[in-house]
Amino acid sequence: MSRSRTPSDAIANALAANRLGVGAIVFFVMSAAAPLTVVAGVVPTGFAATGLLGLPIAFLVVGIVLALFAVGYVAMARQLTNAGAFYAYISRGLGRPAGVGGSWVALIAYNSLQCGAYGAFGAFGGPLVQKYLGVELPWWVLALLMWGLVGVLGVLRVDLNGRVLAILLTLEIAIVLIFDVADLVSPGPEGVSGAALSPDALFAGGVGALLVIAMTGFVGFESSVVFSEESRDPRRTVPTATFVSIAIIAGLYALSSWAMTVAAGPGNIVEMARKDPELPFTLAAERLGGTIADIAAVLLLTSLIAASISFHNTIARYAFALGRERVLPRAFGTTSVRTGAPKVGSIAQTVVGFVVIALYTVMGWDPLVNLFFYGGTFGGFGVLLLTTATSLSVLLFFARNPSGESAWRRVIAPILASAILMVFAVLATANFATLLNVPETHPLRWGLPIAYVVAFILGLVWALILRSSSPGVYASIGLGPQAASAQAGAAPVPPAGVKL
Amino acid sequence: MRLADEFFLIAWDTAGQGKPVLHPQGAALGLAGALLGELILGERLTVQGAGLLVLNRVPVEDPLARDVLAQIVAAPEHTDVRTWLAYLAQDAAEGVGARLQDAGLVQRVESRVLFRTRVRYEATEFAKGAWPSLRLTMLLSEHQPMSLPDMLLAALVDAAGLLDHVLFEPEQRAPAREYLTTLTAALPPALRGLAGHVSAAVGSAVMTYRT
């Protein structure tokens, strides 16, 4: 085990050798963000459902606010040992009971996004299968195919190979940019109109709905901080990767959704999206021919698979962290011996997915609108609420532990982000009927937002029960896997750079 | 047999494929924990909170353990248990595998498959290779009194995520786990802390997709 360099250098160097750089983390984030899924799936469905034009400007606004939020978020990540999960921040800021409440909200939100992807795969895959194989498959057959694939890969701990993922992601972004150029080069009846990028479009009524849809496109940005302890330079790598990801997502989605309005014409986009769920492909086929539209349609399916694997793994690891703390049953904290997959969390997610697909099939609900769009935006709404609570937690945490951070990171950025995110959350709740495109009296209009409130309160109550019944478990809420060292009587691992 | 040797023989399928039965990162971190455990049992090191402290610099007899101690003594600026676990994990399998080969217990076999070199460790005698695992199974399932090294071995096996492999009959698991919980509670704080850090390190590997 001898090494040629001086021993201390050898240790630092040996540990640095397999750490992650900015590029690796950005790719990880972007594969969950699934560009083509958002551009070809969320955007047209968003135009159709809300009847609003302002999605492009909403992507830009949400991107700027999330960047502001990320200033304090990545600073606090360095002070946490379980930085990957919103509830860890909430536990340390708003308190452990709120943290458990947040963790349950997160489980619902991520599962909802995951189930949405099954619906999209069924809805978008159907026409493609019919065109090339000549068989008409019900959406749920394809949804179950992807569900099975994701479930098996999850429990076997098979990730898409990093290189495969990088190639797919690059192709996705390339094809989205090709669509954008084609849309802008041959604009629709109103020419290259900036209408969808003007603030007027944002405040045309239903701004809260636009913000939630835009937020849905960003989901996954929060996972960069999982790698705080694994990055080359914790002070720079993760923050850079986070800001780069947010900038790419905001830029790409704003550009693409705007280009779509230009191609269709701002006055027609809503009507056209309502008639044709595959509007981006139709517009591309008119301009570039059918082949490239079909390539894009195939890439949309691989994009959905990649995003599903990513969300599935996130959910399984969320449950694993909670199992390690004993907030969920201990079994969730165990892994498969051979693969290290968090198998119980993985299987639980698979079961949830099956129940949802079965329910939608039996009830005859629409896979695109009722599963993909409702599931996606309900999940996005949950992530918006979690981001808001996390932003407040960053503020409260740094008020108690300044940790040598600058006033901009500790106070100014978190105050601004928290204030704006709270306004967003209120607007989103107020415009929930617009988001779902249902009348104010529809049961889901309040049912879905209240589901989060109920989950949060149940988590809160559970935490209070733990406080009196198992103080050791209560004390380690938010520590994730590090609960093991805390519960063994050892102090939690100190943040990087602090010597005991 | 030394602690890390026993951990190796439990975590590697030396009678069959010669590969770890546990995911590589768990096996490596468990071995690293066992190497530190040998030196804690030998009263050279201790664990306090998150820190690893040197108690006594006098070299130990075993060459591998002596090398580990020398590296820790030579790098006083690195005091985190987690840093040392991560560092030692990188070469732990090679080091402990070589020690077992020197002791005549396993045979290291290299094979080249395409462009990758695969290393297998095959037991020279089936009974000797399988004994540590079987012994731990009996100790835990029959609730027998255990020595301090055995208690630490059991705690490390659990921390690495290997307990269900040792307790291969599902009905043994719940009572044996309960027994292990009481054993772990009785461990000296340094050893309990070490097992806690191994468990946390393996958990972090799961969270960051490194298993």
Residue A492 maps to a domain? no
Contact A321 B47 (CB under 8 A): no
Q: Are A320 and A332 in contact (CB under 8 A)?
A: yes
pLDDT in tens, chain B (211 residues): 999 999 999 999 999 999 999 999 999 999 999 999 999 999 999 999 999 999 999 999 999 999 999 999 999 999 999 999 999 999 999 999 999 999 999 999 998 887 888 899 999 999 999 999 999 999 999 999 999 999 999 999 999 999 999 999 999 999 999 999 999 999 999 999 999 999 999 999 999 888 7
Closest to A33 in 3D by CA, of A316, A303, A377, A425? A303
What is the β-pairing status of strands B51-54 and B116-123? unpaired
Task: Report residue B112: phi and psi, to 5°.
Answer: -105, 120
Contacts B25 to A, Cβ<8 Å: 340
Contact B207 A159 (CB under 8 A): no
**CA-to-CA separations, A99 to A340, A387, A394, A416, B19, in angstroms, rounded:** 26, 13, 13, 22, 41
pLDDT in the model for residue A33: 81
User: In order along chain A (500 residues), what is the average pLDDT of each group of 10 residues?
Assistant: 50 84 89 89 93 96 98 93 87 96 96 96 92 92 96 82 81 95 94 92 90 95 88 89 96 97 95 93 93 92 91 93 92 91 95 98 95 96 98 97 94 98 97 94 96 98 96 92 75 38
d(CA A473, nearest CA chain B) in Å = 14
Beta bridge partners of B112: B117
pLDDT in the model for residue A161: 62
Domain of A347 in residue numbering reads as 43-479
Distance of CA B133 to the CA centre of its chain: 12
Q: Which CATH class is domain B3-205?
A: mainly alpha
- Between CA A307 and CA A220 the distance in angstroms is 9
Contact B208 A227 (CB under 8 A): yes
Contacts B166 to A, Cβ<8 Å: none
Residue of B21, B94, B197 with shortest CB distance to A337:
B21
- Between CA A192 and CA B44 the distance in angstroms is 75
pLDDT in the model for residue A490: 46
d(CA B193, nearest CA chain A) in Å = 5
Contacts B162 to A, Cβ<8 Å: 337
Q: Which residue of A has its CA nearest to B70?
A: A7
Whole-model pTM: value is: 0.92
Residue A272 maps to a domain? yes
Residue A21 maps to a domain? no
pLDDT in tens, B91-135: 999 999 999 999 999 999 998 887 888 899 999 999 999 999 999
Contact A1 B95 (CB under 8 A): yes
Q: Is A363 exposed, middle or buried (0-12, 13-18, 19+ CB in 10 A)?
A: exposed
pLDDT in the model for residue A8: 52
Q: Are A1 and B71 in contact (CB under 8 A)?
A: yes
Considering chain B, what is the average pLDDT of its residues?
95
What is the three-class DSSP state of A124?
helix
Contacts B202 to A, Cβ<8 Å: 340, 481
**CA-to-CA separations, B73 to A1, A8, B1, B54, in angstroms, rounded:** 15, 10, 25, 7
Residue A23 maps to a domain? no
Q: Is A133 exposed, middle or buried (0-12, 13-18, 19+ CB in 10 A)?
A: exposed
Contact A11 B87 (CB under 8 A): yes
Residue A258 maps to a domain? yes
Contact B203 A320 (CB under 8 A): yes
Residue of A334, A337, A481 with shortest CB distance to B204:
A481
Counted domains in chain A: 1
Residue of A15, A483, A500 with shortest CB distance to B50:
A500
Measured between its terminal Cα atoms, the distance across chain A in Å is 27
Contact B79 A15 (CB under 8 A): no
Contact B83 A11 (CB under 8 A): yes
Q: What are the structural domain ranges in chain B?
A: 3-205
Q: Which residue of B has its CA nearest to A20?
A: B208
The ipTM, to two decimals, is: 0.92
Contact A482 B209 (CB under 8 A): no
pLDDT in the model for residue A163: 77
What is the three-class DSSP state of A60?
helix
Q: Are B22 and B198 in contact (CB under 8 A)?
A: no
pLDDT in the model for residue A32: 79
Choose the mutation target among A6, A223, A315, A485 for the interface with B, i.e. most B CBs under 10 Å.
A485
Task: Report residue A438: phi and psi, to 5°.
Answer: -130, 160
Residue of B21, B75, B86 with shortest CB distance to A7:
B75
CATH code for the domain in which residue A410 is found: 1.20.1740.10
Contact B203 A482 (CB under 8 A): yes
Interface size, chain A vs chain B, as Cβ–Cβ contacts under 8 Å: 142
Residue of A230, A334, A500 with shortest CB distance to B51:
A500
Contact B196 A481 (CB under 8 A): no
- Between CA A143 and CA A358 the distance in angstroms is 10
pLDDT in the model for residue A494: 40
Q: Which residue of A has its CA nearest to B186?
A: A488
- Between CA A282 and CA A293 the distance in angstroms is 7
Residue of A12, A480, A491 with shortest CB distance to B49:
A491
pLDDT in the model for residue A205: 82
